[in-house]
Amino acid sequence: MAISKYLESRKNIAGSACGLLGLVLTFTGVAGPYWPVVVAGLYGAGALIAPPERPPLPDFPTPSAQLDELREDFGKLGAYLAEVELPPAAAGRLTELTGLLSTLLEPGWVAEVLAQDPEGVHTLSRVVRQDLPEAVDTFVRTRWWTRMTPGTEPPERHLERQLTLLQEEAERLTAALRETEARRQESHTRYLEDRSK
């Protein structure tokens, strides 16, 4: 395995090319009786001056592939949320938030714009995979403890506040994507205006 890897390496290819030059020098009579040393020396010199092998870049998923995985996770999250009983106010906020997330993740041109914004993909991923499940799960666990210790602050308030903050974050992302498209449209208008001059 290592031998075949070396045979295909840049060092061997460069060394072989220089070694062939040594054979040409031998056949033209320039190398004389020292031709084996000349060929070996030129091979070694070629192998030394060849650029080093560069390891291949890691094969990270493309933003589109990341969005496909995120859609699957969003589906899992939806199945989880369907099983959780929430107070009406929190349930309403959750419906608004999941509706907006669903629209952003829906395949089409919106997702294509989102895929070109790595920070936006990261933000959406964090909301779907971490923040939203954590907010709901913490509410469910805290609600049980609240029943054991009446008179404490109801966990519904925290959940509603968390859902509001996540909604605002999703709306900021939506506004940023809309702004990106608006700038693109303005750039195209300027391009057409400049071309018509």
CA separation for the pair 177, 174 (Å, rounded): 5
pLDDT tens, position by position, 57-75: 787 777 778 888 999 999 9
Q: Which of the 8 DSSP states describes residue 116?
A: T
User: Which band of pLDDT confidence, cut at 50, 70 and 90, is reported for residue 107?
Assistant: confident
- Report whether pLDDT(1) > 70: no
Interhelix angle 155-195/88-105, rounded to 10 degrees, is 30
Instruction: Single out the residue of 169, 161, 76 nearest to residue 119, CA to CA.
Output: 169
Q: What pLDDT is stored for residue 91 in this prediction?
A: 92
- Tens-digit pLDDT profile for residues 3-42: 777 767 888 788 888 888 888 878 887 777 878 888 888 8
Any residues with CB less than 8 A from the CB of 134 and at least 6 apart, and which? none
Higher pLDDT, 12 or 158: 158
| CB 51, CB 24: distance < 8 Å | no
Q: What pTM did the predictor assign?
A: 0.66
DSSP string, 118-160: HHHHHHHHHIIIIIHHHHHHHHHHHHHHHHHSTTSPPHHHHHH
Distance between CA atoms of residues 193 and 187, nearest Å: 10
